[in-house]
């Protein structure tokens, strides 16, 4: 048994972060169907054919899902889509506001077909407001939300953190939360609802700890100046002898004291949170100390002494780390043609109803006939609507 057994999900997101959202739903038992267009518009990946069977298998965003290609601009294709909607519990889409309405597949339309449908829409700025139609991407969302201003070194330019802030941690995970809340509410009310997820909103939520201080003091936090972004000796990144880096997180007074005693730097005990005029001196003093050993030597030292410090790993190192392996965050799944395929594991650990990777990702259109058969279409019907341009 899994928590979402019996839940049927239509993934109309056509890529992350919506497909990241539905990955979690599939990992925990939901039946997920990717509804894809006849011609995919995937972001190019250097050196990778994103339409290949190999890529589909290695792509965790497509695991535990089936795929059907439908032309929603075609009346027959739309009729098939409506039949899927009538049996669905959840729909996830990531189009700009107005697109689904033009396709006759927006929430008010689909609600008439299935009042219990939970319709989750991911957009940059939401479906209303002055920015609703503004085309943007991750870097734009984190910039407007104030998060980008906090990332980078003091007196340096803002530093883009990658697509995991607005896309994945922001919209992707908040969508999972919103959908699960809506499922819970439906158990009591019997009604579905519209889940409106805006990237900017979710990134703002992720800045909660910095905004607490801003609202309380009125002081605008700057990158490299707050404890959370490199402005404190105890929470910082330091270069080592070999040019690699270690990260400290000695926040509590006893952890700072442990660090100072282990380093033989009792002179720094009073300076866990130094006044601004002393901050650079303390950080520089620690920086000189950490230049005396390599990253891995410091990592061993930290573990031996019980210090809150870790090496800054590259991804290839992360996936060989003993803690990562122990927690099954690297998994291998058997593929009939490719052998063992490596993927990132499932981060949510449930003791009684754990997540599972039951199937690897398949190329678009792999399950069209099977899905149509489950809707009552015969082979003759399938060929007929294919000839009319409804299918891929």
Catalytic residues: 137, 167
CB 248 within 8 A of CB 238: yes
Strand order from edge to edge, sheet including 90-93: 65-69, 31-36, 8-12, 90-93, 118-123, 194-198
CB 63 within 8 A of CB 343: yes
Q: Which residues are 268's β-sheet partners? A: none
Distance CA 364, CA 51 (A): 8
Give, in degrees to the nearest 5, the angle at Cα 200 between 312 and 31. 80
Distance CA 153, CA 182 (A): 41
* Contact residues for 17 (Cβ-Cβ < 8 A; gap 6+): 94, 122, 167, 168, 170, 171, 172, 175
Count of beta carbons in the 10 Å neighbourhood of residue 157: 10
């Amino acid at each position: 048994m899994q928590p979402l057994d019996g839940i049927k999900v239509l993934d109309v997101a056509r890529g992350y972060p919506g497909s990241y959202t539905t990955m979690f739903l599939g990992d925990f038992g939901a039946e997920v169907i990717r509804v894809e267009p006849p011609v995919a518009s995937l972001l190019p990946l250097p050196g990778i054919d994103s339409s290949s069977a190999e890529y589909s298998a290695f792509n965790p965003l497509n695991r535990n899902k089936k795929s059907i290609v439908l032309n929603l601009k075609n009346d027959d294709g739309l009729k098939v889509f409506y039949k899927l909607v009538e049996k669905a519990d959840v729909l996830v889409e990531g189009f700009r506001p107005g697109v689904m309405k033009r396709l006759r597949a927006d929430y008010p339309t689909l609600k008439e077909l299935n009042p219990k449908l939970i319709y989750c829409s991911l957009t940059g700025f939401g479906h209303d407001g002055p920015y609703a139609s503004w085309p943007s991407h991750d870097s734009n969302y984190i910039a407007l939300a104030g998060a980008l201003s906090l990332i980078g070194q003091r007196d340096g330019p803002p530093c883009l953190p990658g697509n995991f802030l607005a896309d994945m941690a922001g919209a992707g995970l908040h969508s999972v939360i919103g959908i699960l809340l809506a499922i819970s509410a439906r158990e009591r009310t019997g009604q579905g609802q519209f889940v409106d997820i805006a990237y900017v909103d979710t990134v703002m939520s992720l800045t909660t700890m910095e905004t607490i201080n801003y609202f309380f003091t009125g002081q605008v936090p700057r990158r490299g100046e707050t404890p959370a972004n490199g402005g404190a000796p105890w929470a910082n990144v330091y270069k080592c002898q070999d040019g690699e880096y270690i990260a400290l997180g000695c926040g509590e007074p006893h952890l700072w004291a442990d660090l100072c005693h282990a380093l033989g730097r009792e002179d720094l005990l009073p300076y866990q949170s130094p006044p601004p005029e002393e901050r650079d001196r303390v950080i520089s003093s620690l920086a000189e100390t950490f230049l005396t050993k390599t990253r891995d030597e410091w990592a061993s030292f930290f573990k031996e002494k019980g210090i809150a410090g870790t090496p800054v790993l590259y991804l290839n190192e992360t996936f060989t780390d003993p803690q990562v392996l122990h927690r099954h965050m690297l998994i291998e799944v058997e593929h009939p043609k490719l052998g063992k395929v490596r993927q990132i594991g499932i981060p949510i650990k449930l003791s009684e109803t754990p997540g599972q990777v039951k199937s690897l990702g398949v190329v678009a259109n792999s399950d069209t006939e099977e899905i149509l058969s489950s809707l009552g279409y015969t082979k003759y019907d399938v060929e007929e609507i294919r000839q009319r341009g409804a299918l891929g």
